[in-house]
Structure 1
Amino acid sequence: MRWNPCPKVYLLLAFHIATIFAQHEQFDEDLQLRATPRDPQMLSDDDQAQHYTLFPLAFGQILREYAVTELHLTLNAGKWNYDSWGYPEEVGVGTGAELWAWMGDSAPTSVEHRWQGLRNALAGLFCASLGHLDEQRTTSPVLSFQPEGSLPNFTYPHQLRHANLPSEHVCTENLTPFLKLLPCKSLSGIASLLNPHRLFDADWHGLGVHVRYLEGAGVEVRLAFQAVFDPVRYSNDNRRDWSLRSTFDRSIERACPVTRFSKVRVELPQGSSPYSITPDPTYIGNSVATYVVDPSHEGLDVALRWPTEGGFEYPNTSEAPPLTDISVRRNLKGTSQAEAQLALVVTNNLPVEVSAGYLETMPWHLQFYLHTLKVSVDGVARDDLVSILSYTPPVPHSRPALLQAVLRLPPSSTLHLTMDVLKPFLRYTEHQPDAQRGWDLPPAVLVPFAFGDAASQNSTGASAQGPLALGRGRTPRRIYTPVLLVDLATPDFSMPYNVIIMSCTLIALIFGSVFNLLTRKFVVVNVKVGPSPAPPSEQGPSAENTHAQERRA
């Protein structure tokens, strides 16, 4: 889903007056209209009123308020399996929340101030905890996150800000504002398939909002939702047949009336098993069946079935070749609560050499021992496979650690990279509510950018060009590793509980005593003490006669 709006049109008028001869004079004028992001130098001026037809107004106001040139926001839940699922359509599949943006560095307000306002505004718009992406999680990894669009020529540089929150998950409260950005919401069109009960039951799901500036076209906003479903899990007879109705519990009833075109593409299966697809597609090309959602049609429910196939059996994935050029594994070794070892295993599945950018963004809780960095290939130590190593050490309570490097992966081999890390001791007030669970560490990112002979040329000439020039002119696919869970030294939180119990008991006793002293009234009671009367047996008969006479009287 794409829109190319013009949030603001800048006029560039060029007047050319020239005198050729005394008798001949000419006057030329040229008018050029182009849509560009807002100039950061104009943030102090009052902005003009914005009127959009299809472009989401709430989102456009945020982009103009903070003069954002390019923005990418993803919210994902689950672990993307590259070896079994291949490359995703949208490359941002890191677990949790990820936000990165390019902004011009020339304004009355600094980039840091605008970055803070941007993440707070997006947190309110999408009902997510993006406000936690503070300076303790913000970095600028220009090697791995190149601009996907064009950067306007504002005669001053642009800066990158990147942050991720691996513990953030996507849910219904994020999907609802996401759907409100669409022109037809979820009432019609392809977006009507977004049933939250089915989407959040998928094996993997995530949404993304991407903004980029295209020279000569304007500002483009792309809203994407990805999910991985298992039809066998929803089938009662263990079959892999599926349809839109069985997958989403919905079908496309009508097209969105304001869309220019609406298409549904189905990748046809490869194999010898016969299958049938209904209804007949509009056209088929490159093993992809395409349906054009026409407003004149009543509804669309695509179904793919294997009539002659019985119960489906999953193939042995250990014997199947991976679907990506590079396979990555990362883990944290060690049982100590003070030290650990970070291990990265990268397998090159191609018969040619590959150069890839390697990015590690760690919170200040973990510190790298850079001198312990070791690289080996198939058990043989190698020192020539890591180049352009850049490391920004962390600052406690202020800045995370940033490690960037370029790795050369020999053909059809496995590279092992290990490095020791230090686990610090935190104050008891800095621990999370679920401190015994551990801390989530952001995923590492690998970006292959050169293959074959180009890999060796980039490894030798990259230092002269700089890291920013490595990915320019290419569209590399980022590969995210799964998040890690680190166990830091955790205090015994039961001791404060015991102290609270004892303190409350003492306070209750003291308060009760003081309360009684303050509220009760103490008085002196005088008691008169006289001679005690004699027992009846000692009074004699005269006393009894006297009492009898008194009664008769």
Structure 2
Amino acid sequence: MATPPTLSVWVSFLLFLLFLSSAVASEPAAVAEEEEFTEELLLRPLPDRKALAHFHFRSSAPPSAAAGRHHHIFPKAISQLVQKFHISELELSFTQGRWNYEQWGGSDPMSTSNAKPPGVELWAVFDLPLSEIDATWKNLTHTLSGLFCASINFLESSTSFSAPQWGFKVNEANLRYGALPREAVCTENLTPWLKLLPCRDKAGIASLLYRPSIYKGYYHSQKLKLRSSQTLDIVLDQTLTVVLQPNTASGKQHIQLMDNFNLTEDKLLPGTLEMLLRFPCGMQSATLTLDFDKGFLHIDEYPPDANQGFDIPSALVSFPEFSSARSYPEIESSFQSPLLEDFQEDGVVKSYTEVLLVPLTTPDFSMPYNVITFTCTVLALYFGSLLNALRRRIGEEERELKKSGKD
């Protein structure tokens, strides 16, 4: 018996829909299998009776060219950031407090990778020609400013960022660096950072983050590090390092010189000075003295509360001949720890100095107001007397005098 043409068309159409739906359903599943997310927590007692808590979150996704724009675990905002600005590597940190290198460590992997200067620090490496990097950097600062509710857009000025060659990556011309030492760190910066996690702070070790305890600590730094390439996966590392004072049982709280100068251009570029120093063995201290001249700024260039002074970002001291890598006993091959892998990577030992407060002479900002007020008062008295003299009539004055005489 022959099948009617209409029925055969409907059967083939239904089979096509089933095949199409299975293909569409299998594609997100394959993408989801390739995306990974891990979280780890490291707790360490410190010599000065404080405790260090280090939260580490890693999200990875296939290259954007292969996976498209659809992500199930990896944050879409970061993927769009990489595609739009052609970022090879990026690191952004929000820090409150100062890392104690003497008590908490200065050359181990923890301090080398997570000890950051106060305020905001941003550096990025772009996969772009040199002529397009500065413009891309400015657009990136505006995007990050809106994403993390911070004043990162102030780094767009050419006087606020530089291109160091030794501090981070040797001979990396596509790197740009900027810092905001006066940027206040608060929960408005932590909330967007948590939104990049798959479950935010509702599940996992992120649910242990109690905001009042974090901001009452001696030191806390939230960092975002991004690595991307056209062949390897996009890797996003989010870390939060907190130094707290736990309660005790009693309830008490417990000389060869190489230089690289970047001359300052007035209102265009900041001054950058990089030195490579070699000291003999046994030297305990060294003093470096630099001469400088104080200049005068335009009234629009003074920051808010200029009487407090000007904050100079922390200087970076790196030790290129020392490595912060650590080796650990071999464990089962099935267990992989991104945190331990980071500690085993060969990194340069870095230390940051304190923020420098430079007092400068500030003008009397109320002087223009006083001058305007005094000038307007004099003009009002002058024109008032002049108009009174011009409008007064002689006949009216005589009648007023006669009336006053009769009285």
- TM superposition score normalised by structure 1: 0.51
CA change 1:491–1:7 in 2 (3 A) is same
Per the alignment, residue 419 of structure 1 pairs with: 290
Q: Does 1:389 align with 2:262?
A: no
Task: Note the C-alpha offset of 1:493.
Answer: 2.9
Per the alignment, residue 211 of structure 1 pairs with: 226
Per the alignment, residue 311 of structure 2 pairs with: 440
Q: Which amino acid aligns with 2:359?
A: D
What is the alpha-carbon distance in structure 1 between the residues aligned to residue 276 and residue 173 of structure 2? 23
What is the alpha-carbon distance in structure 2 between the residues aligned to residue 176 and residue 506 of structure 1? 55
What is the alpha-carbon distance in structure 2 between the residues aligned to residue 101 and residue 394 of structure 1? 22
Contact kept, 8 Å, 2:64 with 2:79, in 1: the verdict is no
Task: Note the C-alpha offset of 1:119.
Answer: 0.9
Q: Does 1:113 align with 2:135?
A: yes
CA change 1:82–1:390 in 2 (3 A) is same
Task: Note the C-alpha offset of 1:443.
Answer: 0.6
**Across the two proteins, how many residue pairs are aligned to each other?**
316
CA change 1:92–1:59 in 2 (3 A) is farther
Match of 1:194 among 200, 204, 209: 209
CA change 1:503–1:405 in 2 (3 A) is same
Q: Does 1:485 align with 2:351?
A: no
Give the structure, 1 or 2, with the largest relative contact order (CA under 8 Å, sep 6 or more): 2
Task: Note the C-alpha offset of 1:497.
Answer: 3.8
Superposed CA deviations along residues 456-500 of structure 1, whole A, max 9, x for unmatched, are xxxxxxxxxxxxxxxxx9411210001000011222334334224
What is the alpha-carbon distance in structure 1 between the residues aligned to residue 310 and residue 93 of structure 2? 21
Superposed CA deviations along residues 522-545 of structure 1, whole A, max 9, x for unmatched, are 9x99x99xxxxxxxxxxxxxxxxx
Per the alignment, residue 177 of structure 2 pairs with: 162
Superposed CA deviations along residues 207-226 of structure 1, whole A, max 9, x for unmatched, are 11100137964111011122
Contact kept, 8 Å, 2:64 with 2:83, in 1: the verdict is no
Task: Note the C-alpha offset of 1:431.
Answer: 1.5
Q: Does 1:4 align with 2:60?
A: yes
Superposed CA deviations along residues 155-182 of structure 1, whole A, max 9, x for unmatched, are xx86111111111121111111111111
CA change 1:433–1:106 in 2 (3 A) is closer
SS at match of 1:420: coil
Q: Which amino acid aligns with 1:208?
A: K
Worse overlay, 495-504 or 506-515: 506-515
Contact kept, 8 Å, 2:217 with 2:245, in 1: the verdict is yes
Per the alignment, residue 88 of structure 2 pairs with: 69
What is the alpha-carbon distance in structure 2 between the residues aligned to residue 224 and residue 448 of structure 1? 23
Task: Spell out the pairing of 1:28-177 with structure 2 (5 A cutoff).
Answer: 50-87=69-106, 88-89=110-111, 90-106=113-129, 110-133=132-155, 134-146=157-169, 159-177=174-192
SS at match of 1:419: coil
Task: Note the C-alpha offset of 1:512.
Answer: 7.5
Superposed CA deviations along residues 341-376 of structure 1, whole A, max 9, x for unmatched, are xxxxxxxxxxxxxxxxxxxxxxxxxxxxxxxxxxxx
What is the alpha-carbon distance in structure 2 between the residues aligned to residue 120 and residue 214 of structure 1? 23
What is the alpha-carbon distance in structure 1 between the residues aligned to residue 100 and residue 183 of structure 2? 19
CA change 1:426–1:51 in 2 (3 A) is same
Contact kept, 8 Å, 2:161 with 2:178, in 1: the verdict is yes
- Supply the RMSD in Å over aligned alpha carbons: 3.3
Q: Which amino acid aligns with 2:347?
A: T
Unaligned runs of 5+ in 2: 1-56, 324-344, 400-407
Task: Note the C-alpha offset of 1:231.
Answer: 2.2
What is the alpha-carbon distance in structure 2 between the residues aligned to residue 445 and residue 205 of structure 1? 19
What is the alpha-carbon distance in structure 2 between the residues aligned to residue 112 and residue 230 of structure 1? 43
Per the alignment, residue 14 of structure 1 pairs with: none
CA change 1:311–1:493 in 2 (3 A) is same
Task: Note the C-alpha offset of 1:417.
Answer: 1.4
Task: Note the C-alpha offset of 1:205.
Answer: 1.8
Superposed CA deviations along residues 227-273 of structure 1, whole A, max 9, x for unmatched, are 221124xxxxxxx2xxxxxxxxxxxxxxxxxxxxxxxxxxxxxxxxx
**Identity across aligned pairs (percent)?**
36
Task: Spell out the pairing of 1:297-312 with structure 2 (5 A cutoff).
Answer: 310=250
Superposed CA deviations along residues 315-360 of structure 1, whole A, max 9, x for unmatched, are xxxxxxxxxxxxxxxxxxxxxxxxxxxxxxxxxxxxxxxxxxxxxx
Q: Which amino acid aligns with 1:420?
A: D
Q: Which has the larger radius of gyration?
A: 1
Question: Which one has the bigger helix percentage?
Answer: 2
